[in-house]
Structure 1
Amino acid sequence: MTLQDLGYNDYFEKLRIDNNLEDFEIGRVIAEHKGRYIVKNEKGEFEAEITGNLRFSAKSREDFPTVGDWVSLLNYETDFVIIHSILSRLSILSRQAVNKFGELQIIASNIDYGLIVQSVNRDFNINRLERYLTLCFASKIEPIIVITKTDLIDEHNLNDLLNKIKTRVKKIPVVHVSNETKVGMGELKKLLYKGKTYCLLGSSGVGKSSLINSLTGENRMKTASISEGIDRGKHVTTHRELIPIINGAILIDNPGMREVGITGSSDGLESTFEKIYDLIQHCKFSDCTHTSERNCAIQLAIEKGQIDKSHFENYLKMEREKEHYESTVVEKRRKDKDFGKMIKHYKKTRKSNKY
């Protein structure tokens, strides 16, 4: 296996040269678990840790390696290396950290496409689908919607479900597949390109592990039985992992996400709710709340059936989350700044008291 098989290209080679890293080996982080990493290159797979300097200089979670990163390496041993530095990322897939307001959780980096996976059973939720789309758009990642377990419903119900997506989601590829019958796999494989990196996004039990097995042609990932009580598979994947699949594409598996918290980027919302943003720009009232005002462009569009009411309500909810996240980031920075001043004052006072 070469670096190119793992997604290495001219962009990263230029970064390597520009940062005077020609004397270092290069590898890609393919797995991460509690501060320990697995790095892969043409020489094999290695356990890895970061340098003390990299750890000391890190200001946030974004400064640590994550799955998908290209890194320079030191101190080759039999099966262990040291990560010296992280090459600048093409993209960062992130969400609001669960129960940690104002903080990001990095999911993966250097992703080209996000495979948003939902199943036709109880998991299907158009509002959550829009959240995943926003996540991808905010990260400059091209989304592809994959509907799984189509063998569980008839053609009429499947078409109804696909029409619901088409009503709310525009210009995004939608593929429907069955891991049991393999129907639709051919269409999905046509969207997998050599050297491109894909990330699986979806809840637990939507068939992501079965999908990986279908795309690798191996029984690589464990699958769990469906719970009759909730009509869902059990949580199988526990960590992120980079996996080469067919057509020379690379896939990052990702644990199921129950929550998809919106961060402060407005780009994602504007792309997901493009028509709503356009109507807001042309609304008659500059200070319109778009909820009850007479002749409001949004409300008129809802009345005429041009946009779905639940689509707009989902936009409002996510916009509020974005604003709340932005306010918590500002508050967190203020507290960090105040704490830094307190420490600085303490050190200065302690020094003066010595003399």
Structure 2
Amino acid sequence: MTLEELGYNDTFEQLRKENHLEDFEIGRVIAEHKERYIVKSEKGEFEAEITGNLIFSAKSREDFPAVGDWVALVNYGSDLAIIHSVLPRLSTLSRQAVGKFAERQIIATNIDFALLVQAVDRDFNINRLERYLTICYSSKVGPIIVLTKTDLIEPQKLKEIIENIKLRIKDIPIFAISNETKDGYASIKGLIKKGKTYCLLGSSGVGKSTLMNNLSGKNMMKTDTISKSTNKGRHVTSHRELTVIENGGILIDNPGMREIGVVDSADGLETAFDRISSFSQKCKFTDCTHTSELGCAVIEAVERGEIDRKSYDNFLKIEKEKDHFDLTVAEKRKKEKSFGKMVKNFKNDIQKISTKHNDVHRK
């Protein structure tokens, strides 16, 4: 398999040259298992580890390789390779790390499009779609909505769901499919382009792995049967994995995500909620929070029905979470800076005591 078939292009080659990595072999991370990786290059697939220098120089977990990364490596002619460097990323899908203070979790990197997968028969939630949109726009990744399990509801109900989506979310492609009957598959297969990378995002049991298997024509991902008591698929994907499918498209499946904490740049939130952003330009105060201010054009538009109230409430909730995350990150950096200063002062004090001791000893 060539690097181009894995998604390599002239932009990555330029980054390779700019970072003086011409002497290294180039591969792409296709799976991650804690501190070990599976990397695919033109020579095949290899288990890989990162160098001690890369571990030492990393400022956070984000600096380690992730699925989708292009890496410079040395292949020792066996099944093991050593990763020396990660090429700069063109896009990074990330969320708040669950249960970890002020940390991001990378979902995948160097993604062209994200397939936002939701099942229409249960747990359908437009608020969650808006969260995924915010993550996509923040990462400069093109979103595509995929509605699954359409065989389990009436056509009229499906039509209503699509209409409700379009009322709140504009100009995003929507595909409705059945993993059982294969309805809609012709359209979604036509969407997947050779050499482009697509990341599947969605909760557990919405049919991501079955979609992956059907698109690839192989049983790439394990799936379980539907639970009769909950009507939910038992999703067993435990890690992220990159797969090149038959038509040349590149898919990355993900474990189901119950929590989608947004670690957003302002642009991502504004683009996902572009209608609110548009009305905010007319607010009386430039620092308007759109919560209680007099002269807030956003609140007035909500009251007139020009902005969907549920979308407005979701916007405020996500913005509050984002602001809280930004604050905790700032607090963490402040603590790290303070701790670093304390360590530096301690070392200086030890050095002074040692110098003084040596001076006394020489006398």
**TM range, normalised to the smaller chain?**
over 0.9
Higher-Rg member (1/2): 2
- 1:243 alignment partner, SS class: strand
Q: Match of 1:140?
A: 140
Distance in 2 (CA, whole Å) between partners of 1:286 and 1:86 is 41
**Superimposed CA distance per residue, residues 239-271 of structure 1 (whole angstroms, 9 cap, x where no aligned partner):** 110001142110111111110101141111001
Q: Match of 1:31?
A: 31
- 1:190 alignment partner, SS class: helix
- 2:224 alignment partner, SS class: coil
Alignment coverage as a number of residue pairs = 355
2:219 aligned with 1:227: no
Q: Match of 1:89?
A: 89
Distance in 2 (CA, whole Å) between partners of 1:311 and 1:91 is 26
Distance in 2 (CA, whole Å) between partners of 1:264 and 1:34 is 25
Q: Match of 1:331?
A: 331
**Superimposed CA distance per residue, residues 104-152 of structure 1 (whole angstroms, 9 cap, x where no aligned partner):** 1111110000000000122211101100010101000000000000000
How high is the TM-score relative to the length of structure 1?
0.96
List aligned pairs for 1:37-56, cutoff 5 A. Answer: 37-56=37-56
Q: CA deviation at 1:297?
A: 2.2
Q: Pick which of 11-20 and 233-242 moved more.
A: 11-20
Alignment CA distance shift 1:294-1:17 (3 Å): closer
Q: Which runs of 5+ in 2 are unaligned?
A: 358-363
Q: CA deviation at 1:288?
A: 4.8
Task: Report if aligned partners of 1:264, 1:323 keep a CA contact under 8 Å in 2.
Answer: no
- 1:224 alignment partner, SS class: strand
List aligned pairs for 1:62-101, cutoff 5 A. Answer: 62-101=62-101
**Superimposed CA distance per residue, residues 144-203 of structure 1 (whole angstroms, 9 cap, x where no aligned partner):** 000000000010000011111101100110101001010001111121111110100000
Q: Match of 2:360?
A: none
- 1:193 alignment partner, SS class: coil
- 1:171 alignment partner, SS class: coil
- 2:339 alignment partner, SS class: helix
Distance in 2 (CA, whole Å) between partners of 1:288 and 1:71 is 44
Q: Match of 1:215?
A: 215
Q: Match of 1:123?
A: 123
2:269 aligned with 1:281: no
- 1:123 alignment partner, SS class: coil
Distance in 2 (CA, whole Å) between partners of 1:313 and 1:293 is 16
Distance in 1 (CA, whole Å) between partners of 2:194 and 2:290 is 45
**Superimposed CA distance per residue, residues 80-121 of structure 1 (whole angstroms, 9 cap, x where no aligned partner):** 100011111111111111122321111111000000000012
Alignment CA distance shift 1:92-1:294 (3 Å): closer
Task: Report if aligned partners of 2:73, 2:83 keep a CA contact under 8 Å in 1.
Answer: yes
Q: Match of 1:254?
A: 254
Task: Report if aligned partners of 2:200, 2:251 keep a CA contact under 8 Å in 1.
Answer: yes
Q: CA deviation at 1:221?
A: 1.6
Alignment CA distance shift 1:296-1:340 (3 Å): closer
Question: What is the letter of the counterpart of residue 252 of structure 2?
Answer: I
Q: Match of 1:301?
A: 301
Alignment CA distance shift 1:285-1:14 (3 Å): closer
Q: Match of 1:3?
A: 3
- 2:133 alignment partner, SS class: helix
Task: Report if aligned partners of 1:26, 1:72 keep a CA contact under 8 Å in 2.
Answer: yes
Q: CA deviation at 1:344?
A: 1.1
- 1:234 alignment partner, SS class: strand
Q: Match of 2:156?
A: 156
Distance in 2 (CA, whole Å) between partners of 1:230 and 1:129 is 22
- 1:29 alignment partner, SS class: strand
- 1:2 alignment partner, SS class: coil
Q: CA deviation at 1:220?
A: 2.1
Task: Report if aligned partners of 2:134, 2:264 keep a CA contact under 8 Å in 1.
Answer: no
Task: Report if aligned partners of 1:145, 1:174 keep a CA contact under 8 Å in 2.
Answer: yes
Compute the RMSD of aligned alpha carbons: 1.5
Question: What is the letter of the counterpart of residue 188 of structure 1?
Answer: I
Alignment CA distance shift 1:288-1:353 (3 Å): closer
Distance in 2 (CA, whole Å) between partners of 1:285 and 1:64 is 42
Q: Pick which of 172-181 and 245-254 moved more.
A: 245-254
Q: CA deviation at 1:345?
A: 1.6
- 1:116 alignment partner, SS class: strand
Question: What is the letter of the counterpart of residue 82 of structure 2?
Answer: I
Q: CA deviation at 1:19?
A: 2.3
2:60 aligned with 1:60: yes
Alignment CA distance shift 1:293-1:66 (3 Å): closer
How high is the TM-score relative to the length of structure 2?
0.94
Alignment CA distance shift 1:281-1:40 (3 Å): same
Q: Which runs of 5+ in 1 are unaligned?
A: none
Distance in 2 (CA, whole Å) between partners of 1:351 and 1:162 is 69
Task: Report if aligned partners of 2:119, 2:207 keep a CA contact under 8 Å in 1.
Answer: yes
Q: Pick which of 281-290 and 265-274 moved more.
A: 281-290
Question: What is the letter of the counterpart of residue 338 of structure 1?
Answer: S
Question: What is the letter of the counterpart of residue 203 of structure 1?
Answer: S
